[in-house]
């Protein structure tokens, strides 16, 4: 084995559960252990886990068996005031389809959303130590709020962050974009290229999305990539990756 692999299933919520369930079955079939399950406390305002005790049971069972539960936004919807510049519009409405909930929040609004989301999960018996902003986007004020609220770790599209130790650990992420046909075709090509490009990286992350399982060709591409990664890397949670990673590769927070 050489290197670590962190597998994350994004956007886990009662509203997306059928697709999440299918992804979890796929991961079980691949014997992919220690996935991180990114829980959205109130997905698009459609209600949380408190109304879905069977899903909570399943998540707790998986956590007891080595999965890691983390918080992923509050609503997973960008409800901040409309983008004002073309660059903001491109980032918040086109690249992220209006899902970058923490992209434009100020500090107090971010702190409120973080606390509300964590409380909603805790009410359902789901306890989290890490936080991943939707679409990996967080304003500078939101990043400061994430540090101050007391999470153990966070991530963006380039790195994992150990917050108590103020460490940044580079970790490239492989993800697909299933929102349109051309994106899916491009994603299949890109996944293969990214697999080769990250061959020597000490930690590689994989970001799976519920919608990926709806497209058989994309799912096949994912299975090939996951098998190749699992053949040569040890699957660990993000918390474990941060604990195991050689200190020499740590960089102090900028």
Task: Please give the residue ranges that form the binding site for Zn ion (CB under 5 A).
Answer: 10-11, 134
Length of the chain: 254
Shortest distance, CB of residue 196 to Zn ion, whole angstroms?
26
> 11 vs 68, which CB is nearer to Zn ion?
11
Measure the CA–CA gap between 162 and 168, rounded to whole angstroms: 6
Shortest distance, CB of residue 13 to Zn ion, whole angstroms?
10
**SS3 (DSSP) at 247:** helix
Shortest distance, CB of residue 200 to Zn ion, whole angstroms?
28
> 14 vs 134, which CB is nearer to Zn ion?
134
Measure the CA–CA gap between 117 and 48, rounded to whole angstroms: 10
By Cβ distance, which residue is nearest to Zn ion? 10
> 45 vs 108, which CB is nearer to Zn ion?
45
> 11 vs 212, which CB is nearer to Zn ion?
11
Measure the CA–CA gap between 25 and 213, rounded to whole angstroms: 11
Shortest distance, CB of residue 207 to Zn ion, whole angstroms?
8
Measure the CA–CA gap between 241 and 187, rounded to whole angstroms: 26
Quick one: residue 177, left, alpha or beta (phi over 0 = left, psi -120 to 50 = alpha)? beta
> 9 vs 167, which CB is nearer to Zn ion?
9
Shortest distance, CB of residue 135 to Zn ion, whole angstroms?
6
């Amino acid at each position: 084995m050489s290197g670590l692999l962190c597998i994350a299933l994004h956007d886990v919520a009662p509203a997306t559960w059928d697709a999440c369930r299918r992804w979890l079955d796929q991961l079980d079939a691949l014997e992919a252990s220690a996935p991180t399950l990114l829980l959205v406390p109130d997905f698009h305002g459609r209600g949380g886990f408190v109304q879905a005790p069977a899903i909570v049971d399943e998540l707790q069972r998986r956590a007891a068996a080595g999965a890691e539960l983390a918080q992923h936004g509050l609503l997973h919807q960008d409800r901040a005031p409309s983008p004002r510049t073309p660059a903001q519009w491109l980032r918040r409405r086109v690249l992220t389809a209006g899902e970058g909930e923490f992209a434009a929040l100020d500090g107090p609004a971010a702190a409120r959303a973080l606390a509300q989301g964590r409380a909603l999960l805790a009410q359902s018996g789901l306890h989290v130590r890490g936080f991943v902003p939707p679409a990996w986007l967080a304003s500078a004020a939101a990043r400061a709020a994430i540090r101050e609220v007391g999470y153990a770790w966070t991530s963006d599209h380039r790195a994992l962050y150990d917050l108590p130790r103020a460490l940044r650990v580079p970790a490239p992420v492989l993800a697909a974009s299933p929102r349109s046909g051309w994106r899916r075709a491009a994603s299949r090509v890109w996944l293969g290229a990214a697999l080769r490009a990250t061959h020597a990286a000490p930690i590689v992350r994989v970001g799976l999305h519920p919608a990926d399982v709806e497209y058989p060709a994309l799912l096949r591409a994912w299975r090939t990539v996951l098998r190749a990664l699992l053949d040569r890397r040890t699957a660990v949670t993000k918390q474990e990756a941060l604990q195991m990673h050689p200190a020499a590769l740590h960089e102090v927070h900028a």
